[in-house]
Structure 1
Amino acid sequence: MSIIRRFFAVAFAATLLNFSAGSAHAQAAQIKIATVDMQELFKQYYKTNEAQKQINVERSRIQKDNNERLSRIRELETTLDSLRKQLDDPAINDSRKQALYKDFQMQQQEGTALDRERREFLQRRNQALSEKMVQRMKGILEEIRKLVEEQAKADDYDYVFDKSGLSTSQVPFLLYTKDATDITAGVLKDLNKDAPAESETSGDDGATEMPESGKGE
Protein backbone atom coordinates (compact mmCIF):
# COMPACT_ATOMS: atom_id res chain seq x y z
CA MET A 1 0.00 0.00 0.00
CA SER A 2 1.26 3.50 -0.88
CA ILE A 3 0.33 4.89 2.56
CA ILE A 4 2.51 2.28 4.23
CA ARG A 5 5.32 3.05 1.82
CA ARG A 6 5.05 6.77 2.56
CA PHE A 7 4.94 6.07 6.28
CA PHE A 8 8.13 4.02 6.24
CA ALA A 9 9.87 6.50 3.98
CA VAL A 10 9.55 8.95 6.89
CA ALA A 11 9.91 6.49 9.76
CA PHE A 12 13.15 5.03 8.46
CA ALA A 13 14.68 7.98 6.68
CA ALA A 14 17.48 8.13 9.25
CA THR A 15 17.02 5.28 11.71
CA LEU A 16 19.74 5.21 14.32
CA LEU A 17 19.28 3.69 17.75
CA ASN A 18 21.73 5.10 20.27
CA PHE A 19 22.08 3.14 23.49
CA SER A 20 25.24 4.60 24.98
CA ALA A 21 26.11 2.82 28.21
CA GLY A 22 29.69 3.95 28.68
CA SER A 23 31.38 7.15 29.73
CA ALA A 24 31.40 10.16 27.43
CA HIS A 25 35.18 9.83 27.45
CA ALA A 26 35.27 6.10 26.67
CA GLN A 27 37.95 4.98 24.26
CA ALA A 28 36.91 3.92 20.76
CA ALA A 29 38.25 0.41 21.40
CA GLN A 30 35.76 -0.01 24.25
CA ILE A 31 32.67 0.86 22.21
CA LYS A 32 30.36 -2.07 21.48
CA ILE A 33 28.41 -1.79 18.23
CA ALA A 34 25.55 -3.93 16.94
CA THR A 35 23.38 -3.84 13.83
CA VAL A 36 19.75 -4.76 13.33
CA ASP A 37 17.58 -5.12 10.23
CA MET A 38 14.43 -3.22 11.15
CA GLN A 39 12.84 -4.01 7.80
CA GLU A 40 13.25 -7.73 8.35
CA LEU A 41 11.93 -7.50 11.90
CA PHE A 42 8.86 -5.64 10.72
CA LYS A 43 8.14 -8.06 7.88
CA GLN A 44 8.61 -11.19 9.99
CA TYR A 45 6.80 -10.01 13.13
CA TYR A 46 3.58 -11.98 13.50
CA LYS A 47 1.64 -8.89 14.57
CA THR A 48 2.46 -7.27 11.23
CA ASN A 49 0.81 -10.18 9.45
CA GLU A 50 -2.22 -10.03 11.75
CA ALA A 51 -2.55 -6.29 11.14
CA GLN A 52 -2.35 -6.80 7.37
CA LYS A 53 -5.07 -9.45 7.49
CA GLN A 54 -7.38 -7.10 9.39
CA ILE A 55 -6.65 -4.31 6.93
CA ASN A 56 -7.46 -6.64 4.02
CA VAL A 57 -10.78 -7.58 5.64
CA GLU A 58 -11.73 -3.94 6.03
CA ARG A 59 -10.61 -3.15 2.50
CA SER A 60 -12.77 -6.00 1.17
CA ARG A 61 -15.74 -4.67 3.14
CA ILE A 62 -15.27 -1.23 1.60
CA GLN A 63 -15.04 -2.76 -1.86
CA LYS A 64 -18.22 -4.78 -1.28
CA ASP A 65 -20.13 -1.64 -0.27
CA ASN A 66 -18.76 0.15 -3.31
CA ASN A 67 -19.81 -2.67 -5.63
CA GLU A 68 -23.35 -2.55 -4.26
CA ARG A 69 -23.51 1.17 -4.94
CA LEU A 70 -22.11 0.65 -8.44
CA SER A 71 -24.74 -2.00 -9.11
CA ARG A 72 -27.53 0.49 -8.41
CA ILE A 73 -25.85 3.10 -10.62
CA ARG A 74 -25.54 0.62 -13.49
CA GLU A 75 -29.22 -0.23 -13.18
CA LEU A 76 -30.00 3.46 -13.60
CA GLU A 77 -27.68 3.63 -16.62
CA THR A 78 -29.60 0.76 -18.22
CA THR A 79 -32.87 2.57 -17.56
CA LEU A 80 -31.46 5.78 -19.05
CA ASP A 81 -30.37 3.93 -22.21
CA SER A 82 -33.88 2.57 -22.59
CA LEU A 83 -35.43 6.01 -22.11
CA ARG A 84 -32.97 7.55 -24.56
CA LYS A 85 -33.97 5.05 -27.25
CA GLN A 86 -37.65 5.78 -26.67
CA LEU A 87 -37.01 9.52 -26.94
CA ASP A 88 -35.32 8.95 -30.28
CA ASP A 89 -38.32 7.03 -31.62
CA PRO A 90 -40.14 9.29 -34.11
CA ALA A 91 -43.33 7.26 -33.68
CA ILE A 92 -43.85 8.53 -30.11
CA ASN A 93 -46.10 11.60 -29.80
CA ASP A 94 -45.00 14.83 -28.11
CA SER A 95 -47.02 14.28 -24.94
CA ARG A 96 -45.40 10.90 -24.39
CA LYS A 97 -41.96 12.33 -25.15
CA GLN A 98 -42.39 15.05 -22.56
CA ALA A 99 -43.25 12.46 -19.92
CA LEU A 100 -40.28 10.31 -20.97
CA TYR A 101 -37.95 13.32 -20.93
CA LYS A 102 -39.07 14.28 -17.44
CA ASP A 103 -38.48 10.72 -16.26
CA PHE A 104 -35.09 10.72 -18.02
CA GLN A 105 -34.00 13.88 -16.20
CA MET A 106 -35.05 12.51 -12.81
CA GLN A 107 -33.21 9.24 -13.36
CA GLN A 108 -30.14 11.08 -14.60
CA GLN A 109 -30.08 13.36 -11.55
CA GLU A 110 -30.47 10.39 -9.24
CA GLY A 111 -27.59 8.59 -10.96
CA THR A 112 -25.35 11.66 -10.69
CA ALA A 113 -26.17 12.05 -6.99
CA LEU A 114 -25.56 8.37 -6.29
CA ASP A 115 -22.21 8.39 -8.07
CA ARG A 116 -21.11 11.52 -6.19
CA GLU A 117 -22.14 9.91 -2.92
CA ARG A 118 -20.27 6.73 -3.87
CA ARG A 119 -17.06 8.64 -4.59
CA GLU A 120 -17.31 10.59 -1.34
CA PHE A 121 -17.95 7.33 0.51
CA LEU A 122 -14.83 5.74 -1.00
CA GLN A 123 -12.67 8.73 -0.22
CA ARG A 124 -13.95 8.95 3.35
CA ARG A 125 -13.60 5.24 4.12
CA ASN A 126 -10.21 4.85 2.43
CA GLN A 127 -8.85 7.86 4.26
CA ALA A 128 -10.06 6.47 7.59
CA LEU A 129 -8.51 3.10 6.79
CA SER A 130 -5.21 4.71 5.80
CA GLU A 131 -5.07 6.62 9.08
CA LYS A 132 -5.85 3.45 10.99
CA MET A 133 -3.11 1.60 9.11
CA VAL A 134 -0.54 4.27 9.93
CA GLN A 135 -1.39 4.19 13.63
CA ARG A 136 -1.30 0.39 13.72
CA MET A 137 2.06 0.20 11.95
CA LYS A 138 3.44 2.95 14.17
CA GLY A 139 2.47 0.91 17.23
CA ILE A 140 4.14 -2.21 15.83
CA LEU A 141 7.32 -0.30 15.07
CA GLU A 142 7.38 1.11 18.58
CA GLU A 143 7.12 -2.41 20.02
CA ILE A 144 10.05 -3.49 17.87
CA ARG A 145 12.10 -0.44 18.81
CA LYS A 146 11.56 -1.03 22.53
CA LEU A 147 12.60 -4.67 22.25
CA VAL A 148 15.75 -3.68 20.34
CA GLU A 149 16.51 -1.15 23.07
CA GLU A 150 16.03 -3.77 25.78
CA GLN A 151 18.31 -6.19 23.94
CA ALA A 152 20.94 -3.50 23.48
CA LYS A 153 20.91 -2.60 27.17
CA ALA A 154 20.98 -6.22 28.26
CA ASP A 155 24.03 -6.94 26.08
CA ASP A 156 25.68 -3.62 26.98
CA TYR A 157 25.88 -2.22 23.44
CA ASP A 158 26.80 1.43 23.00
CA TYR A 159 25.21 1.80 19.59
CA VAL A 160 22.73 -0.18 17.49
CA PHE A 161 22.48 0.78 13.82
CA ASP A 162 19.60 -0.08 11.51
CA LYS A 163 21.37 -1.64 8.53
CA SER A 164 18.21 -1.49 6.39
CA GLY A 165 18.00 2.29 6.62
CA LEU A 166 18.53 4.21 3.39
CA SER A 167 19.23 7.84 2.71
CA THR A 168 17.08 9.92 0.35
CA SER A 169 19.59 9.09 -2.39
CA GLN A 170 18.89 5.36 -1.80
CA VAL A 171 22.36 4.79 -0.32
CA PRO A 172 22.55 2.72 2.90
CA PHE A 173 23.42 4.80 5.93
CA LEU A 174 25.54 1.97 7.25
CA LEU A 175 28.19 1.18 4.64
CA TYR A 176 30.68 -0.52 6.91
CA THR A 177 31.03 -1.37 10.59
CA LYS A 178 33.97 -3.27 11.98
CA ASP A 179 33.27 -6.14 14.39
CA ALA A 180 29.55 -5.28 14.68
CA THR A 181 27.18 -7.97 15.93
CA ASP A 182 23.89 -8.49 14.10
CA ILE A 183 21.16 -8.94 16.72
CA THR A 184 18.28 -9.30 14.24
CA ALA A 185 17.76 -13.05 14.71
CA GLY A 186 17.69 -12.84 18.48
CA VAL A 187 15.26 -9.94 18.52
CA LEU A 188 13.01 -11.68 15.99
CA LYS A 189 12.91 -14.80 18.14
CA ASP A 190 11.76 -12.74 21.12
CA LEU A 191 9.19 -10.88 19.02
CA ASN A 192 7.54 -14.08 17.84
CA LYS A 193 7.80 -16.13 21.03
CA ASP A 194 4.08 -15.61 21.74
CA ALA A 195 2.91 -16.01 18.13
CA PRO A 196 -0.13 -18.27 17.62
CA ALA A 197 0.69 -21.64 16.10
CA GLU A 198 -1.23 -20.85 12.90
CA SER A 199 0.38 -17.44 12.50
CA GLU A 200 2.47 -16.87 9.38
CA THR A 201 4.87 -14.06 8.68
CA SER A 202 4.15 -11.49 5.99
CA GLY A 203 6.48 -13.16 3.55
CA ASP A 204 6.03 -11.83 0.03
CA ASP A 205 3.15 -9.51 0.85
CA GLY A 206 4.34 -6.28 -0.72
CA ALA A 207 1.80 -4.27 1.24
CA THR A 208 3.78 -4.81 4.44
CA GLU A 209 7.22 -4.54 2.95
CA MET A 210 9.27 -1.62 4.17
CA PRO A 211 10.04 0.46 1.07
CA GLU A 212 13.17 2.23 0.04
CA SER A 213 13.65 5.36 2.11
CA GLY A 214 12.42 8.56 0.54
CA LYS A 215 10.63 6.79 -2.28
CA GLY A 216 7.04 7.87 -2.78
CA GLU A 217 4.24 6.75 -5.09
Structure 2
Amino acid sequence: MIRRLIPFAVAAVLCGTSLAQDALKIATVDMQQLFKEYYRTEEAQQQVNVERARIQKELNERYARIQEIDEELKKLRKMLDDPSVSDSKKQEVHRDWQMKQQEGIALDRERREFQQRRTQALNEKMVQRMKGILEEIRKLVEEQAKKEDFDFVFDKSGLSTSQVPVLLYTKDATDITPTLLVDLNKDAPKDGAKPAEEAPEGDEATE
Protein backbone atom coordinates (compact mmCIF):
# COMPACT_ATOMS: atom_id res chain seq x y z
CA MET A 1 0.00 0.00 0.00
CA ILE A 2 2.68 2.50 1.02
CA ARG A 3 4.91 1.72 -1.95
CA ARG A 4 2.00 2.16 -4.36
CA LEU A 5 0.92 5.53 -2.97
CA ILE A 6 4.13 7.32 -2.01
CA PRO A 7 5.71 7.64 -5.48
CA PHE A 8 2.68 9.71 -6.52
CA ALA A 9 2.80 11.91 -3.41
CA VAL A 10 6.13 13.70 -3.74
CA ALA A 11 8.73 13.56 -6.47
CA ALA A 12 10.13 17.02 -5.82
CA VAL A 13 8.97 20.28 -4.27
CA LEU A 14 10.08 23.37 -6.18
CA CYS A 15 10.43 26.57 -4.18
CA GLY A 16 10.37 30.15 -5.40
CA THR A 17 14.12 30.76 -5.40
CA SER A 18 15.47 31.42 -8.89
CA LEU A 19 17.06 28.43 -10.62
CA ALA A 20 19.63 30.81 -12.11
CA GLN A 21 21.56 30.94 -8.86
CA ASP A 22 25.02 29.40 -8.90
CA ALA A 23 24.35 27.06 -5.96
CA LEU A 24 21.00 25.38 -5.46
CA LYS A 25 19.82 24.70 -1.95
CA ILE A 26 18.68 21.07 -1.86
CA ALA A 27 17.01 18.97 0.83
CA THR A 28 15.89 15.37 1.07
CA VAL A 29 12.98 13.79 2.90
CA ASP A 30 12.01 10.19 3.61
CA MET A 31 8.31 10.18 2.79
CA GLN A 32 7.97 6.51 3.67
CA GLN A 33 9.34 7.13 7.16
CA LEU A 34 7.11 10.17 7.65
CA PHE A 35 4.08 8.16 6.57
CA LYS A 36 4.84 5.18 8.81
CA GLU A 37 5.73 7.22 11.89
CA TYR A 38 2.96 9.81 11.63
CA TYR A 39 0.49 9.15 14.46
CA ARG A 40 -2.52 9.69 12.19
CA THR A 41 -1.38 6.79 10.01
CA GLU A 42 -1.51 4.46 13.00
CA GLU A 43 -4.92 5.82 14.00
CA ALA A 44 -6.24 5.23 10.49
CA GLN A 45 -4.89 1.67 10.53
CA GLN A 46 -6.55 1.00 13.88
CA GLN A 47 -9.89 2.21 12.53
CA VAL A 48 -9.49 0.00 9.47
CA ASN A 49 -8.77 -2.98 11.75
CA VAL A 50 -11.94 -2.27 13.73
CA GLU A 51 -14.02 -2.17 10.56
CA ARG A 52 -12.36 -5.33 9.25
CA ALA A 53 -13.20 -7.10 12.52
CA ARG A 54 -16.84 -6.05 12.16
CA ILE A 55 -16.96 -7.51 8.68
CA GLN A 56 -15.39 -10.76 9.86
CA LYS A 57 -17.86 -11.03 12.76
CA GLU A 58 -20.78 -10.66 10.36
CA LEU A 59 -19.25 -13.23 8.01
CA ASN A 60 -18.79 -15.68 10.87
CA GLU A 61 -22.43 -15.29 11.89
CA ARG A 62 -23.62 -15.87 8.34
CA TYR A 63 -21.38 -18.89 7.92
CA ALA A 64 -22.62 -20.36 11.20
CA ARG A 65 -26.20 -20.26 9.87
CA ILE A 66 -25.08 -21.97 6.65
CA GLN A 67 -23.44 -24.72 8.70
CA GLU A 68 -26.67 -25.19 10.66
CA ILE A 69 -28.55 -25.66 7.41
CA ASP A 70 -25.92 -28.15 6.25
CA GLU A 71 -26.44 -30.19 9.41
CA GLU A 72 -30.21 -30.12 8.87
CA LEU A 73 -29.69 -31.32 5.29
CA LYS A 74 -27.61 -34.23 6.54
CA LYS A 75 -30.39 -35.29 8.92
CA LEU A 76 -32.98 -35.08 6.16
CA ARG A 77 -30.72 -37.10 3.85
CA LYS A 78 -30.48 -39.85 6.47
CA MET A 79 -34.28 -39.99 6.63
CA LEU A 80 -34.47 -40.27 2.86
CA ASP A 81 -31.99 -43.17 2.94
CA ASP A 82 -33.78 -44.91 5.83
CA PRO A 83 -35.76 -47.89 4.47
CA SER A 84 -38.06 -47.83 7.51
CA VAL A 85 -39.45 -44.43 6.51
CA SER A 86 -42.62 -44.63 4.43
CA ASP A 87 -42.75 -43.35 0.87
CA SER A 88 -45.28 -40.67 1.74
CA LYS A 89 -43.05 -39.44 4.54
CA LYS A 90 -40.03 -39.48 2.23
CA GLN A 91 -41.87 -37.28 -0.26
CA GLU A 92 -42.49 -34.76 2.52
CA VAL A 93 -38.88 -34.99 3.69
CA HIS A 94 -37.65 -34.57 0.10
CA ARG A 95 -39.62 -31.32 -0.25
CA ASP A 96 -38.12 -30.07 3.01
CA TRP A 97 -34.67 -31.09 1.80
CA GLN A 98 -35.07 -29.14 -1.44
CA MET A 99 -36.27 -26.03 0.40
CA LYS A 100 -33.39 -26.22 2.87
CA GLN A 101 -30.91 -26.73 0.06
CA GLN A 102 -32.17 -23.66 -1.79
CA GLU A 103 -32.06 -21.65 1.43
CA GLY A 104 -28.45 -22.69 2.01
CA ILE A 105 -27.44 -21.82 -1.55
CA ALA A 106 -29.07 -18.40 -1.28
CA LEU A 107 -27.43 -17.66 2.08
CA ASP A 108 -24.01 -18.69 0.80
CA ARG A 109 -24.43 -16.47 -2.26
CA GLU A 110 -25.45 -13.55 -0.04
CA ARG A 111 -22.47 -14.20 2.23
CA ARG A 112 -20.02 -14.11 -0.67
CA GLU A 113 -21.61 -10.97 -2.14
CA PHE A 114 -21.53 -9.31 1.28
CA GLN A 115 -17.86 -10.16 1.72
CA GLN A 116 -16.93 -8.84 -1.73
CA ARG A 117 -18.96 -5.64 -1.36
CA ARG A 118 -17.79 -4.75 2.12
CA THR A 119 -14.15 -5.67 1.50
CA GLN A 120 -14.06 -3.57 -1.65
CA ALA A 121 -15.66 -0.61 0.14
CA LEU A 122 -13.20 -0.91 3.02
CA ASN A 123 -10.22 -1.07 0.68
CA GLU A 124 -11.39 2.01 -1.22
CA LYS A 125 -11.96 3.86 2.03
CA MET A 126 -8.49 2.90 3.28
CA VAL A 127 -6.87 4.10 0.05
CA GLN A 128 -8.64 7.46 0.33
CA ARG A 129 -7.52 7.83 3.95
CA MET A 130 -3.91 7.08 3.10
CA LYS A 131 -3.99 9.46 0.15
CA GLY A 132 -5.32 12.17 2.44
CA ILE A 133 -2.53 11.59 4.94
CA LEU A 134 0.10 11.64 2.20
CA GLU A 135 -1.29 14.89 0.83
CA GLU A 136 -1.15 16.39 4.33
CA ILE A 137 2.50 15.34 4.63
CA ARG A 138 3.31 16.67 1.16
CA LYS A 139 1.90 20.09 2.04
CA LEU A 140 3.97 20.16 5.22
CA VAL A 141 7.08 19.31 3.20
CA GLU A 142 6.32 22.18 0.85
CA GLU A 143 5.78 24.60 3.73
CA GLN A 144 9.06 23.55 5.33
CA ALA A 145 10.86 23.93 2.00
CA LYS A 146 9.57 27.46 1.58
CA LYS A 147 10.35 28.29 5.19
CA GLU A 148 14.00 27.20 4.83
CA ASP A 149 14.27 28.55 1.28
CA PHE A 150 15.12 25.25 -0.42
CA ASP A 151 15.12 25.08 -4.21
CA PHE A 152 14.34 21.37 -4.34
CA VAL A 153 13.21 18.71 -1.89
CA PHE A 154 13.65 15.13 -3.09
CA ASP A 155 11.96 12.05 -1.68
CA LYS A 156 14.86 9.68 -0.99
CA SER A 157 12.48 6.75 -0.37
CA GLY A 158 10.95 6.96 -3.84
CA LEU A 159 11.46 4.01 -6.18
CA SER A 160 11.34 3.82 -9.95
CA THR A 161 9.18 1.33 -11.85
CA SER A 162 12.12 -1.09 -11.73
CA GLN A 163 12.22 -0.75 -7.91
CA VAL A 164 15.51 1.18 -8.01
CA PRO A 165 15.83 4.27 -5.77
CA VAL A 166 15.08 7.40 -7.78
CA LEU A 167 17.55 9.44 -5.74
CA LEU A 168 20.94 7.75 -5.79
CA TYR A 169 23.16 10.61 -4.68
CA THR A 170 22.94 14.25 -3.54
CA LYS A 171 25.78 16.52 -2.54
CA ASP A 172 25.41 18.65 0.60
CA ALA A 173 21.68 17.96 0.85
CA THR A 174 19.90 18.60 4.13
CA ASP A 175 17.64 15.83 5.45
CA ILE A 176 14.53 17.53 6.85
CA THR A 177 12.81 14.28 7.85
CA PRO A 178 13.53 14.57 11.62
CA THR A 179 12.23 18.14 11.75
CA LEU A 180 9.07 17.17 9.91
CA LEU A 181 8.47 14.17 12.17
CA VAL A 182 8.52 16.42 15.21
CA ASP A 183 6.05 18.79 13.56
CA LEU A 184 3.75 15.99 12.40
CA ASN A 185 3.52 14.36 15.81
CA LYS A 186 3.30 17.46 17.97
CA ASP A 187 -0.43 16.88 18.51
CA ALA A 188 -0.18 13.10 18.95
CA PRO A 189 -2.29 11.73 21.83
CA LYS A 190 -0.48 10.77 24.99
CA ASP A 191 0.59 7.17 25.53
CA GLY A 192 -2.39 4.96 26.21
CA ALA A 193 -4.91 7.33 24.67
CA LYS A 194 -6.98 5.75 21.93
CA PRO A 195 -8.48 7.53 18.93
CA ALA A 196 -12.25 7.81 18.86
CA GLU A 197 -13.83 4.83 17.13
CA GLU A 198 -15.88 5.63 14.08
CA ALA A 199 -19.59 4.90 14.15
CA PRO A 200 -20.77 1.96 12.05
CA GLU A 201 -21.70 2.83 8.51
CA GLY A 202 -25.18 2.46 7.14
CA ASP A 203 -24.38 -0.79 5.37
CA GLU A 204 -23.33 -2.35 8.68
CA ALA A 205 -26.56 -1.32 10.34
CA THR A 206 -28.79 -2.68 7.62
CA GLU A 207 -27.05 -5.93 6.78
Match of 1:108 in 2: 101
Match of 2:30 in 1: 37
* Whole-angstrom CA distance in 2 between matches of 1:18 and 1:146: 9
Q: Are 2:14 and 1:19 aligned?
A: yes
Match of 1:91 in 2: 84
- 5+ residue gaps, structure 2, are 194-207
* Whole-angstrom CA distance in 2 between matches of 1:105 and 1:17: 65
Cα offset for 1:191? 0.1
Structure with bigger RCO (C-alpha 8 Å, 6+ apart): 1
* Whole-angstrom CA distance in 2 between matches of 1:11 and 1:152: 18
Q: Are 2:64 and 1:71 aligned?
A: yes
> What's the Cα RMSD here?
1.6
Which of 41, 45, 49 is the equivalent residue of 1:48?
41
* Whole-angstrom CA distance in 1 between matches of 2:190 and 2:155: 29
Cα offset for 1:22? 2.1
* Whole-angstrom CA distance in 1 between matches of 2:5 and 2:48: 21
**Conservation of the 8 A alpha-carbon contact between 1:148 and 1:187:** yes
Paired amino acid for 2:13 = N
Cα offset for 1:52? 0.5
Match of 1:182 in 2: 175
Q: Pick closer, same or farther for the CA change 1:11–1:39 going to 2, 3 Å.
A: closer
**Conservation of the 8 A alpha-carbon contact between 1:32 and 1:156:** yes
String of CA shifts for 1:42-82, please: whole Å, max 9, x gaps. Answer: 00000000001111001000111111111110000000011
**Conservation of the 8 A alpha-carbon contact between 2:15 and 2:145:** no
Paired amino acid for 2:125 = K
Give the fraction of aligned pairs with identical amino acids, expressed as a percent: 65
Cα offset for 1:24? 3.6
Cα offset for 1:11? 4.2
- 5+ residue gaps, structure 1, are 201-217
TM-score by length of 2: 0.89
* Whole-angstrom CA distance in 2 between matches of 1:199 and 1:170: 38
